[in-house]
Amino acid sequence: MKPGDLVQNFKSHFNAKPNFIVRAPGRVNLIGEHTDYNDGFVLPMAIDREVWIALHPRADSTVRIASLDIGTESAFELHSLTPGKGWTEYPKGVASSLMNAGYKLKGFDAVMTGDVPRGAGLSSSAAVELAVARAFACSSGLDWDAVTMAKLAQKAEIEWVGVNSGIMDQMASAVCREGFALFLDCRSLEFQHAPLPKEVSFVILDTSTRRGLVGSAYNERHSQCEEAARWFGVKALRDVEEKEIGELALSRVEGWGVEGGLSEVAFKRARHIITENTRVLAAVQAMKVGDVKRLGELFNASHDSLRDDFEVTNDALNIIVACARGQEGCYGARMTGAGFGGCAVALVAEDKVTAFTQTLSAAYRQRSGLEAAVYVCKASAGAGVVSLEEYDKL
């Protein structure tokens, strides 16, 4: 989605024309939740909700970014970066990560805007990170290698921001192709652009609840998965077969955990990850043969596992998913992203989307007292540079 007046805003801020315009998308994850930091499989899709930056390189090492949405301007020096608070930590973290990897950076003046809802599970932070990385690539004449940049952006998130996140969001924002989802192996980082099924839409359902304290709950899930992997004696839960967890389920004492020290909580976390990996592979297969009914069933099973075993849904997510499943034309629905609030995604027959959107909003309002925001999204391309001519034509 083109932001209205980026060039005009740049001119009024800096009294000059920008030299570059860059953009990076948010993403919706179709299936494969919390599997990325377990070396597993994911299937995200970049969306047409993006972060845009217009910039003008500087000769020195100062970075000035005016955020049009937050209404503040922030400045930092590349050679004396210090941690602070607020949205500037993402640009600073990316700068630090690029410099630690040996890139020589030059500063820039920039205005930034975007329409990825924040804290909603649609990766607004990865979109900022990749847009900033793209901006540095322009200001400093760096080669753009999408996978390398995704890894460095993830490093920024872990080391600077302090969230022990996986690689899915940054990879989706960096390498997705327009019109495709991204089937990604988070261990090898091999990926395939997966064609989307025809005659269905992916509809994002924003519960309008926002996750609080997500960093700590997220990091806790990460540690519980590591605890389970240690118990199984494997590098990551990716290496456990579904049949092993099935056998354990039979031998454990409900509520007490598994004999030999795997706690009930870690058992449930592991069961989600192991079965979710299988569901991603099945979903890719279903997409390949155009079996949207099966894809919908997998969406449903994924949500139920995230609710019961991984315990990262909230009431609003469970209600909106139940409302979606009750509408005509909906093949399945699940929460998407880290959870604890934010968005769900529903798979809906294309010719039923308009009616679905209206009835879903009313049903959700009635059951939760909350207003949903509903977006039918398009699969967009990963981070890129948009020439001023192209921008004018958009």
Q: Please select the residue that binds ligand GLA; options are 33, 50, 115, 129, rule is CB under 6 A.
A: 33
Of 10, 20, 37, 76, the one binding ligand GLA by CB under 6 A = 37
- Find, among 201, 168, 199, the residue nearest to 185 by Cα: 168
Write phi, then psi, for 335 (nearest 5 degrees).
-65, 160
Q: Which one, 36 or 115, has the nearer CB to ligand GLA?
A: 36
Of the candidate residues 96, 139, 165, 313, the single one contacting ligand GLA (CB under 6 A)? 165
Question: Interface with ligand GLA by CB under 6 A: which range of 107-115, 160-168, 354-362, 364-372?
Answer: 160-168
Interface residue with ligand GLA, options 34, 64, 92, 271 (CB under 6 A): 34
Residue with smallest beta-carbon separation from ligand GLA:
166
Q: Which is nearer to ligand GLA, 139 or 209 (CB)?
A: 209
CB 391 within 8 A of CB 7: yes
Q: Verify whether residue 169 is a known catalytic residue.
A: yes
Cβ pair 293, 299 in contact under 8 A? no
- Contact, 181 vs 344, CB < 8 A? no
Question: How far apart are alpha carbons 209 and 338 in whole angstroms?
Answer: 13
Beta strand 200-206 with 343-349: parallel, antiparallel or unpaired?
antiparallel
Instruction: Tell me how far, at minimum, the Cβ of 325 lies from ligand GLA, in Å.
Output: 21
**Does residue 276 bind ligand GLA (CB under 6 A)?**
no
Query: Which residues, numbered 109-128, are part of the site for ligand GLA (CB under 6 A)?
Result: 123
Site for ligand GLA in 318-337 (CB under 6 A): 337
- CA-CA distance, 282 to 171, in Å (whole number)? 21
Any contact of residue 168 with ligand GLA (CB under 6 A)?
A: yes
User: Among residues 115, 169, 206, 276, which is the contact residue for ligand GLA, using CB under 6 A?
Assistant: 169
Q: How far is the CB of 18 from ligand GLA (least distance, A)?
A: 30
Q: Which is nearer to ligand GLA, 34 or 279 (CB)?
A: 34
Give, as ranges, the residues between 333 and 362 that touch ligand GLA (CB under 6 A).
Answer: 337-338
Q: Judged by CB under 6 A, does residue 129 bind ligand GLA? A: no
Q: Which of 109, 115, 169, 206 does the annotation list as catalytic? A: 169
Q: Count the site residues for ligand GLA by CB under 6 A.
A: 12
Active site residues: 169
What residues make contact with ligand GLA under the rule CB under 6 A?
29, 33-34, 36-37, 123, 165-166, 168-169, 337-338
